Amino acid sequence: MEENTSPLSPRREFLDGVRDELPLLLGVIPFGLIFGALALEAGVSPMGAQGLSLFVFAGSAQFVSLNLISTNAPAAVMVFTIFIVNLRHALYSASLSPHVQHLPTRWKMLLAYLLTDEAFAIAQRRYLRSGLEQAHWYTLGTGVALWTSWQASTLVGVLFGARIPESWSLEFALPLTFMAMLLPSLVDRPSWAAAISGGALALALRSLPYNLGLVLGAMIGVAVAVLAEKDR
C-alpha cells in the first residue's frame, strides 16, 4: 500500500476516491437497472422508483421494499424492515466516526447520506493510510461515484428496464452481489454463526408476513453470534 507523507489536495483525494470506487460500480449498475425495472413491475410509479433511490438510497432495503409494496404491507412494516436491513450502516457510521469528528455538521450530514455498503468498503481503506487531512474528500468521491451511478442506473431501468430480455436472468446478479459482500465479512467463527443462523432462520420463518422472517432471522443471528463469541 502506498504511503503518503504529505497531505494530498482535496481535488486529488476526491478523484482518487472516484477512481477507486469504479470497480464496484460494475456490480452496482446492473442492480440500479434491475431495481428500476422491478419497481414498475411491483406497481411503483416511475417517480416513486426514482424517489426510493433518491431518498432511501440503500439498494438492498429498496429491493426488500418492492417485495413489501407488492404484498400491500402497511407503511410502518416497510419502515421497520428498512430500518433493520440498514442497521448495518450504524457499524459503518461507528467505524468512520473518529475520522469525521472534526468536520462541520454539513459535511457529516453529506457523508452520512452517501454512506452505503460499497462506498464504505472503499473509503475505510483510505483511513488505514497516512496523510488524512483531506481524506474526507476521498470519502466524498467514493460516495458521489456510487450515488451518481445508482441514480442514473435507476433512471435507465425505469425508462428501458422492460426491454431487457428475461432470458438474461439479470436478477440473479442480485443474490450474487449480496454473496460478494457477505464473504469478506466472514472473518471468524462468530461471524459465520451470524450468517448461518441468520440465513437458516430467515428460511424457517419464510411463512411470516411482510418478510418479517428476514428481520427476525437477522436479529437472532446477531444474538447467536454474540453468544458464540462469549463462549470462547
Determine the Cα–Cα distance for residues 129 and 124; give it in Å rounded to an integer: 10
Q: How far is the CB of 203 from another protein (least distance, A)?
A: 5
Would you say 86 or 151 has its CB closer to another protein?
86
Report yes or no: 96 and 126 within 8 Å, Cβ to Cβ.
Answer: no
Q: Is 73 helix (H, G, I), strand (E, B) or coil?
A: coil
Torsion of CA 206, 222, 150, 125, to 10 degrees: -150
Q: How far is the CB of 159 from another protein (least distance, A)?
A: 20
Would you say 6 or 187 has its CB closer to another protein?
187
The per-residue DSSP string of 125-140 comes to HHTTSS--TTHHHHHH
Would you say 96 or 135 has its CB closer to another protein?
96
Report yes or no: 84 and 141 within 8 Å, Cβ to Cβ.
Answer: no
Tally: H helices and E strands in the chain: 11, 0
Would you say 79 or 162 has its CB closer to another protein?
79
Q: How far is the CB of 125 from another protein (least distance, A)?
A: 14
Would you say 45 or 148 has its CB closer to another protein?
45
Report yes or no: 96 and 114 within 8 Å, Cβ to Cβ.
Answer: no
DSSP single-letter state for residue 5: S
Q: How far is the CB of 174 from another protein (least distance, A)?
A: 7
Determine the Cα–Cα distance for residues 42 and 146; give it in Å rounded to an integer: 25
Q: How far is the CB of 22 from another protein (least distance, A)?
A: 11
Would you say 12 or 127 has its CB closer to another protein?
127
Class of residue 178 by CB neighbours under 10 A (exposed 0-12, middle 13-18, buried 19+): middle
Q: How far is the CB of 196 from another protein (least distance, A)?
A: 7
Would you say 133 or 178 has its CB closer to another protein?
178
Q: How far is the CB of 160 from another protein (least distance, A)?
A: 20
Report yes or no: 36 and 158 within 8 Å, Cβ to Cβ.
Answer: yes
